[in-house]
Structure 1
Amino acid sequence: MQAPHTTPSPASSPPSPRRWHVDEIDYAGIDLARIQDQEDLFYLVASASFIETGSDMYTRNLVRHYADYPEVAHWLQQHWEPEELQHGLALRRYVEAVWPEFPWQEAFDAFFAEYGALCTDEELERDRTLELVARCVVETGTTTYYHTMRDLAAEPVLADLANRIRGDEVQHYKYFLQYFRKLQASQPAGPSRLHIARVLYQRLREIKDSDSDVALRHVWQHRPERFRQASFAQISQRSYRLVSSNLPITQVIRMLLKPVDLPRSLEKLLEPALQRLARRVLSA
């Protein structure tokens, strides 16, 4: 039986050393007239708040996976998890300030009941070096998601919040990449470029079919009355097209290619084709 998930109270913050604190966000200064009727941003912000708030379960899986690598396990518990939970808390506060009629806790509980069943150790790459490659793909996705949210936000407080989260996600990506390279260097017969490229492509294809789709569906099922006109299929297609068409695609490709460690001249040659492929995968 799935244990109940306890979310951080909107009145409290998870303790950890952080580059910024949720109490620095000027929620009282939100320009409601510029955001309340923005349906697309409601779905982007609310679904992101679910995924970030549920990250502690995924962290536990990763900590077990890297039990033989105490440095990685320690960083996951002491840095990555608290920062991800702060993201969830900060986004939740924003949602509740702008769309108070949205039953955040009820919707999150429904999301987590489904998400928790999907979030298993079996979802991780058996090769721990390749799982770090997979983490790089996830952090590429989150970095560029918040980059896009920041650029789409006409409301200054949301733009500021998205930019702060984006900065954290960049640092998370750098850590996973650094430790991937460290593990790779310690294994002369480690995964080949072909294996690395396979994981990159596979995880890129899974982005739409993973937790983001589950979160979006539960947000839609509990959506406010003002956003009741569109079907879930319409919202899903619109959300993914909005994000994919506004992605900083050059940044996406460069982040994805770093674990492959190709010569820069070859990267530049491949970039145009890879940009087209990434847009097609993410908007399909």
Structure 2
Amino acid sequence: MKSASQPASQSYQRVAFYRLTILSFLECMTPAFVQNLARLYHDDEALRSWLWNTWHAEEVGHGNWIRSYIRQTWPNFDWDSAYVEFATQFALRLPQEEKPLSAAKESLARCGMEAQASIVYRSLAENVDDARLADLLKRIADDHLRHFNVFRRAYERYNQQESLSVWQRVSILVERTRKLQRVDLALAFNAIHTHWHGAMPFSALAPKDYYRLSTRALYQNLVREETRHLLGKFFHLESWAQRQAYKFTSWRLAQSALGA
């Protein structure tokens, strides 16, 4: 990645900073979900063990790795204080925003989030100049792809009893990404703007401008291709109705990933 001090790359550096910081916040919030998920999967000891010993550790590890990079690249940003503000507000709204889902529905929702995370990290890795950062982002993307496959297997198991309709699948996948954009990103922006030692090295971004700058054409082919590959696992594509649902859901998650 180019130095944050180079004027020619300031716009790109600004978007990269926001994307990396938001990702680090969300990764570090994983412990807030593990206990509820372990309770939901009460009948699957192996899955509960994976949640505590692998998913929890790797997600928080991702957040800590990105935090270290942010500290080195933008030393005037007080990541710790910003994260405390974000995490505090996140915890306050969590009981209101999180509605209990069935095991199959929650597994599917988690598949959508893991797919989206893998897409975001892979698109970032393809478009940074820092080889060390690109390698880190690719490894994180691979981790999220493995997590996706674990939650997919959980979904397939629990859906044998629940038999979610195609429209339920679309609604679950799309609604979780809407919630991320509606609440989590707004909280992150509020925290980011108020925790600098001195002036920000670039002008502050409003969420709508962040979305616009994040959806450049250079991301779109990769994002759409991977989104369709992952989501195709949840629809029977020989059915016309399910093909249309699949196309819509792929498009919606791709657009959300580009703005995440």
| TM-score normalised by structure 1 residue count | 0.76
The residue that corresponds to 1:219 in the other structure is: 192
Q: Is contact 1:43-1:220 (8 Å) kept?
A: no
Q: C-alpha separation between the residues in 2 aligned to 1:175 and 1:110?
A: 32
Residue number among 192, 198, 204 corresponding to 2:165 in the alignment:
192
**Alpha-carbon separation, structure 2, partners of 1:195 and 1:81:** 28
Q: 1:106 aligns with which of 81, 85, 89?
A: 81
Distance 2:224 2:97 in 1: 30
1:236 corresponds to 2:210: yes
Question: Among the aligned pairs, what percent are the same residue?
Answer: 23
Q: Which residue in 2 is equivalent to 1:255? A: 230
> What is the Cα deviation at residue 281 of structure 1?
6.1
8 Å CA contact retained: 2:23, 2:63: yes
1:231-254 deviation line (CA, Å, top 9, x unaligned): 424543345435995451121123
Counterpart position of 1:65 = 40
Secondary structure of the residue that 1:126 maps to in structure 2? Answer: coil
Deviations 1:56-79 (A, max 9, x none): 112222122222332222111111
Greater shift, 221-230 or 109-118, is seen at: 221-230
Runs (5+) with no aligned partner, structure 1? 1-29
What whole-Å deviation, never above 9, does each CA across 1:171-190 have from its counterpart, x for those lacking one?
Answer: 000110011112223x2x53
Aligned to 1:170: 145
RMSD: 3.2
Quote the Cα distance in structure 1 between the aligned partners of 2:2 and 2:255: 35
Superimposed CA distance per residue, residues 254-283 of structure 1 (whole angstroms, 9 cap, x where no aligned partner): 3223223x1368599646665555556667
Alignment of 1:43-122 (within 5 A): 43-120=18-95
Tell me, in whole angstroms, the C-alpha distance in 2 between the residues paired with 1:84 and 1:203.
18
Query: What CA deviation, in whole Å up to 9, does each residue of 1:125-150 have, x standing for no partner?
Result: 42111110100111111011101111
Change in Cα spacing, 1:244 to 1:214, as seen in structure 2 (3 Å) is: farther
Kept in 2, the 8 Å contact 1:241–1:283? The answer is yes
The amino acid of 1:141's aligned partner reads Q
TM-score normalized with structure 2 length: 0.82
Out of 137, 157, 160, the residue aligned to residue 182 of structure 1 is 157
Q: Deviations over 1:95-140 (max 9, x none)?
A: 0111111011111111111111233396154211111010011111
The 1:243–1:76 alpha-carbon spacing in structure 2 relative to 1, beyond 3 Å, is farther
Q: Aligned residue for 2:127?
A: 152
Mark the CA change 1:279 to 1:143 in structure 2 (over 3 Å): closer, same or farther. closer
What is the CA–CA distance in structure 1 between the aligned matches of 2:48 and 2:256, rounded to whole Å? 32
Deviation by residue 1:187-245 (Cα, 9 ceiling, x = unmatched): 2x532233222212322433322423322332233356244523424543345435995
